[in-house]
Structure 1
């Protein structure tokens, strides 16, 4: 995994720093392991992290995004290895040079300065050799990038090409040409007639599966990108409201002070009370707005990381690697897309002052009352709801339907899950009041 470190400012330094440093030890990866959240860490670092923080737990929380990953039965060692990082290190190892050397073309005899890198040949070449390289049929389809684009992060490096189709682990010598949609795994010809035969199993060609699932994955990108835009807008709104709140608070305190100066002898106690109230409100609302900003920021970072990772894997990984990653990535993106995004109370930045009616009254604070908005409607088809119990386990809600003598259970999204018919409406109400359902 080790390779000679490129000189400071070279075209490879940015790639090494951005892609090959473990976020725990801040050194080059050693046996990188991949968590469900798609973050990678050295195996040794994860072992120490798990032993120190989650020794007896059956899950491990990512040090970066705090997402939980189920711990394999054999421990950290059984997490999937990140072969993309391993392949990237191998490619950089072939083009990294000593600190005082320049990048030299590996093809021409003239040893011209190299300005391109072929991601398929794993070779640095000059401009002249690049033209010849593009004219040769065998290499015309290769991915070639300028070293500057690589340095600027515009090119996502791919790992060294493995065999196009790996061999089956169950049937020796058989190549896995098919993908079982029922089991979400690659299979060989023998598997199709032994362990994954029709009609119990449905399988298709691996290339067709890769193309189909890439399109399926791409359909999840747009909703998440729209969610990110809304999160950005929410964060901007919260920031503006914080500024407005501070301005309003300063203005209000000035008005209170001016009023207090006029009648200070009689209302010193009132002034002190109202000023403390303003500061308490300011502190409380700033805290709420900061917590909202933090929630939005974390959601945005999580979605951005998962989205960018899914895009990179869809674009650059080989068919086996993509198919191996697809179920986990697809599940992750769908969960993120289904998450309810935080909403902000638009009255948090409103604060003002109303002078008192009589001469000895300092006044009262004036604020907009929070506006209630309909978030979700429950109980379609229920016209005689006589009681509701929201304490049912599992974020569910029980509704007593008096007209139809039944109890209906809804999930947290308002979808009907179960119905219990009952013989008496009186018993129905007592059932919920007495907590018999629980």
Structure 2
């Protein structure tokens, strides 16, 4: 046989692979090349694109996972790839040679040991012949190999990989039990023959090819049945993609309609709330105007001369009578300052306006005892101290936030975080809607979110001794504290 017979067989397989699309495994049809230099049929790339994220302007190579940026023209503008590149690869491939498997010098093999199944270079062949234990092995020159022996595998054309566990050993066996490649040393340690089944690389490879071929046949049979039963599967896939886009559009349109309805309802409720607030504010304004008119009349009556009073009599009486009539028609109550909103529990519904305060008993605090303390913000939200917790509730009793007493209330003098509360014995709200807590032996001032703003000790800063019992604050932020039956007034810190 000619000297190049072995490599020619390998070149034939290599050339065949270079002429086939890695996706459809048929000869290239209108090939296009990605940035990673891998080529595919244009149709295969178009079908691949349908399965990838369309929002991403890139296409992912199925072989190396690298991305190629696409222009507005899409896949059609990719350069033609495979044939020119493959011709170059094929030309370069003419230099493919069988390498020695007995050394690491990458020398070209000139013979093969039929017993070791190794290709040998000239130097390794000499060393092989010098070993007494190997003299009985049959060595055949590559040019004299029979045709059936020339069907070599990829592994035989390359340097045999080394074992990871034993880097000085070649991978020469296959463990069927563990389904891994092993070396001779492995059979003495982790893959002992008494517990594991070993076969040669060739035998494992032949069995692998047989199993893969059987699976390929079954897969091809299933695909053929599917294609026969669904001749228009490609069109169905395209239709599914279009239907998905249409479904997305319908969902979006419906969502936008519902959002528009909710926004319209939001606008309506805000307008209603504004109109109610304006109407009520006018009533409160009338009351303030009455007080101003009354103050001016009293000022005239006390400071003006009799002549001036008589001259102003008609106007003063008219103004006073008008205010009497106004007050008879006004329904001015503190409750009119309340305006709230109740959320709807139904999906897609906002809720309704609350025009009156309705207080209902909350069963959680039904058994009120002496340890419960309550204070209210100007927004009608409440703070309740009960059972070692501070709770902030909305006007309808719904929990907004809570803070738990952390340190031991029986050990008030031990060091602790000042933001913590040991035992709240009294609560009050100042004009700035800040929460004052009597947490013996200190008075602490918090925000609505229970963030500490300030604190002071009564004994040191207020010049008093004893146990504080009650706490109150007026509209000027003047603090009143009851200490052992005595009342003390403190200015705001």
Tell me whether the two structures share a fold, i.e. TM-score over 0.5.
no
- After TM superposition, the score normalised by the length of structure 1 is 0.24
Taking structure 2 as the reference length, the TM-score comes to: 0.22
Q: Which has the larger radius of gyration?
A: 2
Higher relative contact order (CA 8 A, sep 6+): 1
